[in-house]
Amino acid sequence: MAIDVAKVEIKSVSDASGLDELIVSGRMAADSVVAVIGKTEGNGGVNDFTRILSDTAFRGVLLAHGTRSEAEVGEIPMVWSGGCDGVLTPHATVFARDDSTGPADAPRLAMGTAMSAPILPEDIGRPAMVATIADGVRAAMADAGIADPADVHYVQTKTPLLTIDTVQEAHGRGQSVACEVHESMGVSNGTTGLGIAVALGEVDMPAADEICRNLDLYSSVASCSSGVELDRGQIVLFGNAPGVGGRFRIGHGVMQDALDIDGIYDAIRSAGLDLPERPRAADLGGRLVNCFIKCEADRTARLRGRRQIMLDDSDVHHHRHSKGAVGGVAAAAIGDPAVFVSVDAMHQGPQGGGPVVAIVDAGAV
């Protein structure tokens, strides 16, 4: 079945009126919504409760308008990235099943999901987690009906991280952990990125000492997040498949560094839009739904030969510097500040850069 996609603005910290309007207008049925990926306005840290507020609000709308139970609505993948630094606007991209439009014989947007096997605390940052995530990605490909890894353009994940309690539980079983609690968010994300890369044939299975160290190994389609609320990997995979119908196509590119605006346009071209050699936002013709970008401060503290100070700033975390900077580049590229930019990009794109995913309206033919 085809996938319909729409972007809605989040107008206040617990607003879900955009989703409500999609449903009331008849654009999407509440029971057809299968995923939400959004940016919220908090600080992006562990204590960023705006993610919980948005999650609660969006699930509440689906319960109010649909027939699914609270447990069923609770299973819908919703990925919330906190922090709208710089010009970024809080927003959500909503995905719904739709069999009413589009050609059946052209490659169009397809989606698959999977939950990995359990990930133990001692697995995080180690080859066991890489292998577990790779198996989960393959399962999500099968769910999407995609056989060729080259047709996969976006893999969004949520995986567990360490807490004091889980570290103590592992120690009680005689196991060690690979990192400290405060490092585990980045390590979990990076290990997951390698699992995605292995599943899609982008890299070979890494050695233990390469995980979160050899940053030349990466996936160009991974966007990884982690949290305390689960003990498995939640995987949402997007690509193009023939026969699914619909109007939308997806593609990806890579920003080589924080200023690489051409990487954004490469992703849009990959999704199927013809652009001039030196494009501008006006050339998109209103057909871009959204871009999804991962970024991180370059650990060499250099950008195109110039010294960078964001890693030395004791007042503002470098995640907020990099997110604000890349968000500005992306907003200028597409002419819209409601663009998804997320940090903690280890093994997700090249060092100092990151993957860019674009979804476009390819039309009915």
Pairing state between β 33-40 and 91-98: antiparallel
- Give the count of beta carbons closer than 10 Å to the beta carbon of residue 326: 31
354-361, strands of its sheet edge to edge = 248-255, 354-361, 288-294, 340-342
User: Helices marked H in the chain — which ranges?
Assistant: 17-24, 50-65, 70-74, 127-144, 164-172, 184-199, 261-270, 318-334
- Give the count of beta carbons closer than 10 Å to the beta carbon of residue 12: 11
Instruction: Please enumerate in sequence order all residues whose Cβ is within 8 A of that of 171, keeping only pairs 6 or more positions apart, or say none.
Output: 177
Tell me which of 7, 158, 294, 323 is the catalytic residue: 158
Give the number of residues written for the chain: 365
Could you tell me which of 223, 226, 198 has the C-alpha nearest to residue 210? 198
Annotation marks residue 219 as catalytic:
no
Q: What is the DSSP letter of 147?
A: -
Residues pairing with 33 in the sheet: 96
Tell me which of 225, 226, 270, 342 is the catalytic residue: 225
Annotation marks residue 39 as catalytic:
no
Residues pairing with 35 in the sheet: 95
Q: Looking at the annotation, which residues are catalytic? A: 158, 225
